[in-house]
Amino acid sequence: MKVTIVGYGNMGTGLATSLAKTEHQVVITGRDLEKAQQLAARLGDKVRVLPETEAASDADLIIATAPYAEQVDALAKLGDLAGKIVIDISNPLKPDYSGLALGHTTSAAEEIAKALPGAKVIKAFNTIFAAIFSEDPDFGHGTKVQVFYAGDDDKSKRRVEEMIESMGFLPVDAGPLSNARNLEPIGMQNIWFGFTAKQGTGIAPVWLPRHY
Amino acid sequence: MKVTIVGYGNMGTGLATSLAKTEHQVVITGRDLEKAQQLAARLGDKVRVLPETEAASDADLIIATAPYAEQVDALAKLGDLAGKIVIDISNPLKPDYSGLALGHTTSAAEEIAKALPGAKVIKAFNTIFAAIFSEDPDFGHGTKVQVFYAGDDDKSKRRVEEMIESMGFLPVDAGPLSNARNLEPIGMQNIWFGFTAKQGTGIAPVWLPRHY
């Protein structure tokens, strides 16, 4: 396939590096063709550079790697993309990385905290299917099911952590209570995989390190 | 610790079953004490039932397992919870399970799709750190890094899947483009773990099955 990568930042460079090892034809494009050319030269013959106006017409796949705020403008320079497959890789972060700037305004945990003044609300267990509790929390290869917990009171978080650990799970500190805006969609995606995609309830999301 | 579980549905039952095996003292409470009593009887001596009005005063941890829409009311029956640790396990689902009913209104991918009429926008790679591309996509034990992709055009999704596979990753169909409302928060949480919690960029979220 012909794959056009728009942008040559960290992600554009990573994708181009990975795709250069495949049989696909790779085109890099963007505002600064000289910079694109430097990257292409490092990656060998399979990677070409084309100006933005010529980079889309022939492409089977277009990967948009600009930051979200610039992405529509960056894609507009490629011309009409009707019928084209465009892969959006962006995370629309707030400038301070504290959360998503787009589409996400609150969470069940935060609403419950508002309704219970003075209570120390902790989000936890929402990415765990009930079926997991009655079976071995070790999924194999020493990998325990991770239970993510988020909250704003450190002392309370330590007690919840202790309880999670006593149940045989691996407690994972997922940050402040506002990160329930991340954990609840993870729970939602878990439900989508389990029920909608019919993978069943014997699955769980975990964060793995390389060579775990 | 003294742990009070509010509710005895699937999740309440699962949590009680798991906690009954630990050294913690478990109390079950809720609207239907007879039902709670049946569950407690199955779980042995460590699990007691208390009426809602008496279940919180002594508790170190309170786990709220009612569906989100009923949770604030269910907790209100326990009395004043100021100073108490309350664990919220809910996912505020839409009635048809298609997404979250609370706090989540759009995604970068959907906004980009709106801005590019006719283009087939696919969300992908937003949970992958750039550093992953230049190293082995096998994280150990045969577990490949998963690349989640979401979109509304099946034919386009198959081509993206093919590209992901050619790069050595495991492509995982994550559903319709609106599931970018889940994938972007997963990317956000990944960034939180990698940068804010300083775990570094050699991590990735994956969904594991039991005994993988």
Contact A118 B83 (CB under 8 A): yes
**Three-state DSSP class for residue A78:** coil
**pTM for the structure as a whole:** 0.93
Chain centroid to CA B119: how far?
A: 31
Q: To the nearest whole number, what is the mean pLDDT of chain B? A: 95
* pLDDT tens track for B14-69: 999 999 999 999 999 999 999 999 999 999 988 999 999 999 999 999 999 999 99
Domains and CATH numbers, chain B: 2-88 (3.40.50.720), 108-196 (3.40.50.720)
Tokens of B181: 């409302």
Any B CB within 8 A of A194 CB? no
Query: What is the Cα–Cα distance from A22 to B21, expressed in whole angstroms?
Result: 51
Any A CB within 8 A of B201 CB? no
Any A CB within 8 A of B92 CB? yes
* pLDDT tens track for A108-134: 999 999 999 999 999 999 999 999 998
Q: What angle do CA B189, B128, A144 make, to 5 degrees?
A: 60
Chain B interface test: which of A158, A189, A190, A206 (most B C-beta within 10 Å): A189
Any B CB within 8 A of A41 CB? no
Any A CB within 8 A of B29 CB? no
How does DSSP classify residue A197? S
Contact B179 A189 (CB under 8 A): yes
Q: Confidence band (pLDDT; 50, 70, 90) for B212? A: confident
Tokens of A211: 């060579």
The ipTM estimated for the assembled molecules is 0.94
